[in-house]
Amino acid sequence: MRSNEGAESPPDPSSTASPLNVTMAAVATAAGVSRATASRVFYGSTPVSPRTRDAVYAAAERLGYVPNVMARSLAARGSDILGLLLRDPTNPAYGLLFSELQTHISRAGLQMVTVAPSRTEGAHFERQALNRLLGLRVGGMFVATGVIRAEMLVPFLDRVPVVLIGRPASHPGIYSVSYDEENNAAQLADAVAEYGHRAVAVVTPGTDNSVAEYRRGTTMARRLRSHGIRVHEIPAPTFGLRDEGAREIIALRRAGRITAAMFPSDLRLLAFLPHAQAAGVRVPDDLSLTGCDGIMPGNDLLGFTTLRIPVERAAERAVTVMKSMLDNPGRTEITHELLPGTLVPGRTLIRPDPNEKTRSGS
């Protein structure tokens, strides 16, 4: 008689299967629960006990199970997974928006997948990103970008609900939760006027660069002119170039034609500072500066005069609206919410030298 001592046990099929081929039924069996209970653990449809949840997660980890959320969405002809198109997460304002959205989406029992083109990729790449999100069968889309136009979203509206975040919009078919850029820009321009500046440079990106920054720039220029202030508008048409216009501003200051410069974002103001330093232009003694966003870490140390946009409120409202759209298809009234920001006084804006007379000229 042959001894079985030292003989190897037959391999467990589940232990050699690819993680993508391990089924939920196999996980349920390994955890000693029904498949329905395992499904509740992974998809959160109804609560389960902590002990059961831990057993299912332990079995899934042991077997290398990966939930197939896309297949679930197709089977249900719907999805609790939301898509987010995010512009440049290296920008603190967009980074904070992403974090806040994720927090509120989790609290609502939903999930989110994000596509974020690099800050050098324009509207064409963002349109491709929207197509990728639709290909994932997302149940709704958040669009947080200052580049893509509302008209580009129209073809998707009959397929998924869309909420535009952070950018003013007026399309009758698209719900938007936006920062009140005209009010924000007016607050900044009024502050510059109150400090007595009479000749100011304003950096104004094009709409293909950023719709929000374009509105800020044009509104600041218009508001300054309403105070009788001479405005030098500095075009910034190049996408992804944050220090554009720096040489023009330095030249205007050296010629004695401005005492202040206004930027449509804090990042643009920050990008200008090395140029000012290299040119020997002292901030704010020689040139006062203002930014916009108020989100950048360390602003209390930098002392920028800026405006704090209400990112947290925008994220909360956007998720609330999306949840309403998902729960009541076709019944949510399309509205364009505008959320005003708060002026943040800083050290970069002071009164100009009363003995200095700015020169006229365009």
Q: Are residues 187 and 232 in the same domain?
A: yes
Nearest to 204 by CA among 247, 244, 234: 234
Q: Are residues 35 and 127 in the same domain?
A: no
Token digits for 49? 């006990």
CB environment 272-285: b (16+ within 10 A), e (fewer): bbeebeebebebbe
CB half-sphere exposure, 209, CA atoms < 13 A? 21
Q: Are residues 301 and 224 in the same domain?
A: yes
Tell me, yes or no, whether 357 lies in a domain.
no
Tell me, yes or no, whether 18 lies in a domain.
yes
The pLDDT-based confidence of 4 (bands split at 50, 70, 90) is very low
* C-alpha span between 105 and 319 (Å, rounded): 6
Q: Are residues 189 and 279 in the same domain?
A: yes
Answering whether pTM is above 0.85, one says no
Quick: pLDDT tens for 295-309.
Answer: 998 888 999 999 999
Q: Are residues 107 and 252 in the same domain?
A: no
Q: Are residues 225 and 256 in the same domain?
A: yes
Domain that residue 158 falls in: 77-179+310-341
Q: Are residues 107 and 151 in the same domain?
A: yes
pLDDT at 77: 44
pLDDT at 75: 42
Token digits for 133? 């999100």
Tell me, yes or no, whether 226 lies in a domain.
yes
Q: Strand, coil or helix: what is 26? A: helix
The proportion of the chain whose per-residue pLDDT surpasses 70, expressed as a percent, equals: 83
Mean pLDDT of 9-38: 70
pLDDT at 15: 45
* C-alpha span between 252 and 18 (Å, rounded): 65
What CATH number should be reported for the domain holding residue 297? Answer: 3.40.50.2300
Tell me, yes or no, whether 141 lies in a domain.
yes
- In sequence order, what DSSP letters do the residues of 153-203 get, joined into one string? TGGGTTTS-EEEESS----TT-EEEEE-HHHHHHHHHHHHHHTT--EEEEE
Quick: pLDDT tens for 89-125.
Answer: 888 999 999 999 999 999 988 889 888 876 555 555 6
Q: Are residues 149 and 186 in the same domain?
A: no
What CATH number should be reported for the domain holding residue 46? Answer: 1.10.260
Q: How far is CA 293 from the centre of its chain?
A: 12
In this structure, the number of other CB atoms found within 10 A of the CB of residue 20 comes to: 9
Q: Are residues 272 and 286 in the same domain?
A: yes
Tell me, yes or no, whether 286 lies in a domain.
yes
Domains in the chain: how many in total?
3
* C-alpha span between 161 and 76 (Å, rounded): 17
pLDDT at 56: 87
Mean pLDDT of 9-16: 44
Tell me, yes or no, whether 237 lies in a domain.
yes
Q: Are residues 262 and 152 in the same domain?
A: no
Cβ–Cβ < 8 Å for 110, 45: no
Cβ–Cβ < 8 Å for 250, 281: yes
Eight-state DSSP code of residue 219: H
Q: Are residues 143 and 191 in the same domain?
A: no
Tell me, yes or no, whether 3 lies in a domain.
no
Q: Are residues 82 and 133 in the same domain?
A: yes
Average of per-residue pLDDT values in the chain: 85
Eight-state DSSP code of residue 307: E
Mean pLDDT of 189-207: 96
Cβ–Cβ < 8 Å for 216, 267: no
Quick: pLDDT tens for 343-357.
Answer: 999 999 999 988 876
- The β-bridge partners of 113 are 83
pLDDT at 168: 76
Judged against a pLDDT cut of 80, whether residue 151 lies above it is answered with no
Judged against a pLDDT cut of 50, whether residue 340 lies above it is answered with yes
Helix (H) or strand (E) holding 230: strand 230-236
Helix (H) or strand (E) holding 85: strand 81-86
Tell me, yes or no, whether 266 lies in a domain.
yes
Quick: pLDDT tens for 47-74.
Answer: 788 899 889 888 888 887 766 555 554 4
